[in-house]
A and B are shown apart, each in its own frame.
Chain A
Amino acid sequence: MAEPPGRPAPLIRFEGVTKSFGAARAVAGVDLDIAQGEFFCLLGPSGCGKTTLMRTLAGFETPDSGRILLDGADLAGVPAHRRPVNMMFQSYALFPHMSVEANIAFGLRQDGVPRAEIAERVAAIVRTVQIQGLEKRRPHQLSGGQKQRVALARALVKRPLVLLLDEPLAALDRKLREDTRFELKELQARLGLTFLMVTHDQDEAMAMADRIGVMEKGRLVQVGAPAEVYETPATRGVAAFVGDSTLIEGVAGAFDGAAARLRVRAALGASSPEFVVAAREAPAEGSAVTLALRPEKLRLWTEPPEAGTPNVLEAEVWDLGYLGDKTLVRLRLPGGGTVRVSRLNASRRPEAGLSAHQRAWIGFDPADAVLLTR
């Protein structure tokens, strides 16, 4: 492996990994490097191939083509039980006929670790995940949160090179899920371990991961830090899946290179307003582009804004969705189509001066629209 100097070799490397089930292609040529100590998250809708990709690393699926390297060694032909990775299953997969203690010790027993050391390491991990006092219980005597901790302890006690987490928080209720996010993240940082997580929950991915890989129909469409994926989605699919976006189709117009501004003729039903958006380079004039507008970045006025404000549209308030911390306003555009705008409820006064079917104006700063060409 010829690595550019100054960059450490990745701990995990997927090279053109492809896996099909019959005619269905689950993973289609994925290339990905994950560094030691990184918290990497594969994000995507169900059926996008993220779980299959993780299972190829665990050894439960064999790629049809491509290679997987772990710490520089090719994993081809290495069975699951000899791979130095451990997985936390979505269902937790705790052995129902064994106590919590026996569940955690299971992996160490298989490796022939001496009895005294097993007891020591089990006791240590039990303290780490804070399940003291539950050692003698059976899995069916545990709550969902406790089961999750036992599953975590069982995977961590073997000190794997990589911990794989398959939807680790999906079975927990909302409050517990949010607390556990931070705990997992903190644990990962403290142990300096590499985590590879799979989730369909974008909040979870954003809150925990150092980097996110968004998957779509078996392909890895974008890899980047959470803010990067959110603020500059690479494709329409990413913009639609990660966070909430209103997508507006349009045609590229003239490009002003000096100001890095592009004119876009939007197609909003019958009307076709012209917007000015920030663009680093110009797509071919006349080519189809999409504008992705985040609800929190759109401005909303109940009076016409002053002349000269860019990218203003007149619209009609359709309905108001009160979510507690914010209110989601859906507006109808005159030519058809809807736009979602979110307004932060920073004070306790109810949404003043906004009601359904009233006239309103929305607008966005040229730099706040995402220009998508793919």
Chain B
Amino acid sequence: MTPRLTAFNVVSLTLGFAFLYLPIVLLVVFSFNESKLVTVWGGFSTRWYAALLGNGPLLEAAWVSLRIGVLSATFATVLGTLAAVALVRFGRFAGRTLLTGMVYAPLVMPEVITGLSLLLLFVALDVDRGFWTVTLAHVSFSMCFVTVVVQSRLVTMDRSLEEAAMDLGATPLATFFQVTLPLIAPAVAAGWMLAFTLSLDDLVIASFTSGPGATTLPMRIYGQVRLGVSPEINAACTIMIGVVTLAILAFSIASKRGLAEPGRAEGA
């Protein structure tokens, strides 16, 4: 079914995409601007990318963000997957509704509130804010996204595969690692990618929970922009867009592969 390209369709498509992507396209274009003036085109150049390499604080922030992203995504994936398994496989246990609500709450919770409440918690516990507090904060808000992704895969998985494994003598733990996990692996990978991207993007929660010496890339960029936009920032942002785009692509490929995987409904 291919819808016909009418004038109306073309115009609305163009306007829609322009609305969404024009600012990003401008940013990418001006990152290759020769001129120091952000809004005046002075010819093509990669000098701002070179300048980026000399910008110590910015590189340091990127490194911090990368480490927080990998760590928090990994923790969030483990916890989120466990929550999904509990929700889908353990039937109606006491507190199931409560757990469902609590797992999904961060999806809709305003980031300012999540950030503020975490800040209050860390202050109350007298924890030194820094790398680990940001990582923990990111785990707590990205875990639910992993749960959603993994849960949707688990519910479509043929339950009798797990029963067959147990019937053949596999303990519940062996069943999980030898049958369930390999079959939901694409969703788990997709969940990790999503959590990583969310962590990399986050400014609000990181601002609340970070401390000296743990400035993430979005925090650094935001801080510099307040002193004036330099083409260097455009270059940094372009690189970030590239990284996030790659992660999203990998995520969608992983979940597509998950859908194509046989074994969800074997037989007739």
Contact = CB atoms under 8 A, between A and B. Distances in A.
Contact of A81 (B158, B169, B178, B183): B169
B167 A87 contact: yes
Given A80-B163, A89-B160, A93-B158, A110 B170 contact: yes
Interface stretch (A10-18, A94-102, A209-217, A253-261): A94-102
A236 to B, nearest CB: 31
A196 B18 CA distance: 66
A81 B179 CA distance: 14
Interface stretch (B65-73, B199-207, B257-265): B257-265
Contacts of A144: 267
B266 A92 contact: yes
Contacts of B267: 90-92, 144, 147, 171
B95 to A, nearest CB: 20
Contacts of A90: 160, 267
Contact of B266 (A58, A93, A107): A93
Q: Which one of B170, B175, B183 has the highest number of Cβ atoms from chain A below 10 Å of its Cβ? A: B170
A182 interface: no
A70 B165 CA distance: 21
Interface in B153-171: 158, 160-161, 163-171
A146 to B, nearest CB: 13
A106 interface: yes
Interface in A41-78: 58-60
Interface in B117-176: 158, 160-161, 163-172, 174-175
Interface string A170-206: 1100000000000000000000000000000000000
A171 B169 contact: no
B89 to A, nearest CB: 13
A91 B265 contact: yes
Nearest to B162: A93
B182 interface: yes
Given A89-B163, A97-B182, A106 B168 contact: yes
Contacts of B109: none
Contact of A147 (B163, B169, B183, B266): B266
Contacts of B266: 91-94, 96, 139, 147
Interface in A80-121: 80-82, 85-87, 89-97, 106-107, 110-111
Contacts of B168: 81, 86, 106-107, 110, 154-155, 158
Contacts of B169: 81-82, 107, 110-111, 158
Measured as residues with beta carbon below 8 angstroms from the partner, the interface class of chain A is 20 to 34
Nearest to A164: B167
Contact of A87 (B164, B261, B263, B268): B164
A59 B182 CA distance: 24
A138 B263 CA distance: 11
Nearest to B265: A91
Given A96-B263, A97-B182, A170-B268, A81 B166 contact: yes
Given A92-B266, A110-B174, A80 B261 contact: no
A140 interface: yes
A79 B167 CA distance: 9
A103 to B, nearest CB: 9
B166 A91 contact: no
B267 to A, nearest CB: 4
Nearest to B169: A110
B23 to A, nearest CB: 44
B161 A93 contact: yes
Contacts of B170: 81, 106, 110
Given A93-B158, A110-B174, A171-B268, A139 B163 contact: no
For B174, B175, B178, B182, the residue with the greatest tally of chain A CB atoms inside 10 Å of its CB is B178
Nearest to B185: A97
Contacts of B165: 95, 106
Contact of B262 (A111, A139, A158): A139
Nearest to B161: A93
Contacts of A92: 266-267
A120 to B, nearest CB: 18
A219 B169 CA distance: 30
Nearest to A94: B266
A60 B163 contact: yes
B162 to A, nearest CB: 9
Contacts of A97: 182-183, 263
Given A96-B266, A147-B266, A89 B166 contact: no
19 contacts: A81-B168, A81-B171, A82-B169, A85-B167, A89-B163, A90-B267, A91-B158, A93-B158, A93-B161, A93-B163, A93-B164, A95-B263, A96-B183, A97-B183, A106-B168, A107-B168, A111-B169, A138-B262, A171-B268
Given A81-B170, A86-B168, A158-B169, 15 more contacts: A58-B163, A81-B167, A87-B164, A89-B160, A91-B267, A93-B163, A94-B263, A95-B165, A97-B183, A106-B170, A110-B168, A139-B263, A140-B263, A147-B266, A155-B168
The 6 closest A-B pairs by CB, nearest first: A96-B263, A107-B168, A93-B164, A110-B169, A91-B267, A140-B262
